Structure 1
Amino acid sequence: MCPSDAPNPPTPTGHQSPDWQASSLPRAAGEGSCSPSANQPIGLIAGNGTLPLLVADGILHAGNQLCCIGLADQYDRTLPARCSHFQQVGIARLGKWIRSLRKWNVTTAVMVGGVEHHRKYRRFQFLHYLPDLRAARLWYRTLSRDRRTGTMLTALADELQRNGITLIDNRTYIPDHLATPGLMTQTQPPAGVTADIDFGWPLFNDAVQLGIGQSMAVRCRDVIAFEASEGTDAMIARAGDLCSRRPWVFFKTCSIDHDMRADVPTIGVQTIQNIHEAGGKVIVLGSGRVIMLDKPDVLRAAEQLGIAILGM
């Protein structure tokens, strides 16, 4: 039983109850990022999903030349047509990434899109990618003690930097697709779950600093699921099973010190549909720290399914 008129519990020590209705909160989208000059060749290292397409369009809209590395078996097949230069390269062929980008005189690049990283836990799976010497050294030496996704991507960015290629903030070319402060939908959060929002956000904001996940589900002032390596969709399904379709709140953000050059959290239309099917009624996103793919479609889907989306 979770009565809607129950008093809000005290928030964790050192936090104030978040005012999610405030729309004047500072926007974090531009923090620490700067756009390269027009006409400069920009590299795009593209994994799967629609995010590389949005970033590609943003690069072209800014007047830059688009030079793309498409990760084999990952990138969208419509991507090459957008590019001045394109090369398909294996996921673990880091040396070829670097040689191609340098051949195109690229000194600035963006790395976006997904890779099914859960496969890394299969025995000898990394060797199945036929890594070159540079990638093998990174995997077996640099990452021997810590192979979390964020650590891997930061190490990769550092390796590119040592070779004259600077990875920049994923958000640089897609500011219009970021979560913004306050309520983003016409749909309001149900009265019965507002206490869960106030309870969950400060707790979640503390938890993500540990670097173990970027999503959480809350119902009746209790954490019912936290994302791990299984991914967001699996966590949503687990939350739905535990709640038996009773309303719950979905939270997503990243840590304050998260490396925005890679692995910025995202949600898309499919995420909205999955949350709806699992009984979720409210989505709370870190303002300026979560990418919405693409934002108009995400908001439209949420409205149609009666889900409220707000930024904190």
Structure 2
Amino acid sequence: MPPLGLIAGEGVFPFLVARGARSAGRRIVCIGLRGSARPEIAAEVDEFRWVSIVRLGSWIRLLRRAGVSEAIMVGRVVKTTMYARLAWLHNIPDLRTARLWFTRLRRDKRPFAILNALADTLESEGIRLIDSTTYTQDQLVTPGVLTRTQPSAAQLEDARHGWELCRQLSRLDIGQSIAIKDKDVIAVEALEGTNAMIERAGQLCKTGGWTLIKVANAHQDMRMDVPTVGVTTIEKLAAARAACVVLEARKTTFLEREKVIELADRHGIAIVGMA
């Protein structure tokens, strides 16, 4: 079996993929996105190299040289870095990336457009991105109440009311999460990401008891765009006095499922999977 390529961004998800793939007998060649991936990922794989996020040509050369024909791309890249002052000086693209940016992505630089362009470019070079949950199926959110802590009737009503609102925001490619209480939307996720939105919701709703709803992107591609919830998310929710989390079942991944559910119960936060 050829080695599995792992394109690693921020967080725990790359570690879970590496461990799952190794348990399945795959040899792993990992390229870590500099400024996003954790250095410790190198100890979880067979080969490791750092790459720049804007040097797609080097991704392809390193993976092809290692004999990779299948790859998984996981881990967050902080979107706000794209808009930092002098961002291009810190991330000088290679010719391959620049060509992609100024041709195919010239008029549409939304995340799903960028991810699809990356996937197509890799595949044109014989490197096919596969479902990023292939080796982490045990971490997917399942339908129903997943914690011992049960949601209140009011929280379930907020979940039902806010679900379609959140789906509509996703279809418009604005964000994938909202904070809601008593059918009032407290905060909407945009470029800042879920964790920052949680902090803002806590500032706006001092009484607490609100519900976070998080859905998959309407344009979701399981190869590269799977929403995640980890220990950090629960810690942020607890600090912001949230009481319930509603996640899209089968399309959202826990980052260490048992730890997340145990921590949620410890803080009295209910987790609900909705389909």
Number of aligned positions between the proteins: 274
Say whether 1:199 aligns with 2:161. yes
Among 191, 194, 201, the residue aligned to 1:239: 201
Higher normalized contact order (CA 8 Å, seq sep 6+, divided by chain length):
1
Match of 2:11 in 1: 49
- Contact kept, 8 Å, 2:8 with 2:30, in 1: the verdict is yes
Query: 2:151 matched to 1:189?
Result: yes
SS at structure 2 position matched to 1:263: coil
For 2:218 and 2:79, locate their aligned partners in 1 and report how far apart those are by CA, in whole Å.
23
Distance 1:174 1:95 in 2: 28
| Alignment RMSD | 1.4
Given residue 263 of structure 1, which amino acid in structure 2 is its aligned partner?
D
- Cα 1:273–1:82, aligned 2, differ >3 Å: closer, same or farther? closer
**1:225 corresponds to 2:187:** yes
- Aligned-pair distance for 1:299? 0.2
Structure 1: 5+ residue runs without aligned partners? 1-38
| TM-aligned CA distance change 1:182 to 1:154, over 3 Å | same
Counterpart code for 1:122 = A
Flag the 1:150–1:64 CA change in 2: closer, same or farther, 3 A: same
Larger Cα-atom Rg: 1
Distance 1:151 1:241, change over 3 A: same
Offset of residue 203 of structure 1: 2.5
Aligned counterpart, 1:272: 234
CA contact (8 A) 2:231 2:263 kept: yes
Deviation string, structure 1 residues 161-195 (Cα, Å, up to 9, x no partner): 11111011111111111111001001001233222
**2:43 is the counterpart of 1:81:** yes
Are residue 111 (structure 1) and residue 65 (structure 2) matched?
no
Q: 2-side partners of 1:122 and 1:86: how far apart?
A: 28
CA apart distance, 1:254: 1.2
Structure 1 residue 256: Cα displacement: 4.3
Aligned 1:229-308 pairs, distance under 5 A: 229-308=191-270
Distance 1:82 1:267 in 2: 21
Listed as ranges, the gaps of 5+ residues in structure 2 are none
Q: Secondary structure at the match of 2:102?
A: helix
Aligned pairs for 1:144-163 (under 5 A) are 144-163=106-125
Matched, 1:69 2:23: no
Of all paired residues, the percent bearing the same amino acid is 46
* Partner AA of 1:62 in structure 2: A
